[in-house]
Amino acid sequence: MGMKFTKMHGCGNDYIFINSLKEEVPSPAYLAKKISDRHFGVGADGLVLIGSSQTADYSMKMFNPDGSIGEMCGNAIRCIGKYVYENHLTNKTTITVETLAGIKTLFLTIRNNEVIEVMVDMGKPIVEPCAIPVMSEKNIVIDEPISIMGVEYRMTCVSMGNPHAVVFVDSVGGLKIDQIGIPFEYNLRFPNRTNVEFVQIVDRNNIKMRVWERGTGETLACGTGACAAVMAGIYNNLLEERVVVKLKGGILKVEYDSKDNIVYLSGPAKMVFEGDMMLTWLV
């Protein structure tokens, strides 16, 4: 007897989704390591379990490819909206999902019974260093120097439920992210490690971004990272409140409601394929 799964992605940020309302998932951290491997497994940026919740419509539990737990993922949560609607688990177009970063609200755009876009209320950006967390004596980390492999970078730190260090660069094209990603992620200034966004300002409403995700490496997109990048741009007076974010995997849209201090993320969600996993494969 196998375990059914669905592979989905948001702008190339791909995850394996399992409906844990129906499937019992033993050792999800171990399963995440096995199934995420792109040579010996299905291949993904992580594993996501869709479950029940006492405080929201559904819950999301996310595991990175190294087995560590992720608090929140803007691309994965949009895929959940598409999954529950198109699999007839709900007919609502406004859905709440419980995450380790709090309850998030999804707004689905439907065309011909298909979810073509999902907007997520990502909540309030967190800038207090102890809450991100990042080691700093300042009240907010904006354009602060950090030395990585003997090179000084300037970072702005934001949490969107998970930690982000945003670095503005002249160009993301020739960036050797595979060499500096790990030293950034594991720098001692980040007690829980960090995600890192390298951002090129095109104009005040457009940016290009590459991202190093904690526990994963470089990915084609990161929803919380896109939100953090835009907020960092606003804090540095580089960006307006509506920004198009161009990533290696596609386009995300971020809007900041300064009145209520809320960040909204919009973008696509795509189903790649469905499968049936034999549990004996896990041994």
Residue of 11, 79, 222, 227 marked active site = 222
Q: Which of 122, 131, 127, 160 is nearest to 144 (CA)?
A: 127
Cα–Cα distance, 216 to 265 (Å, whole number): 21
Residue of 11, 73, 157, 227 marked active site = 73
Angle value at C-alpha 76, between 73 and 77, nearest 5 degrees: 80
- 73 catalytic per annotation: yes
| Active site amino acids | 73, 222
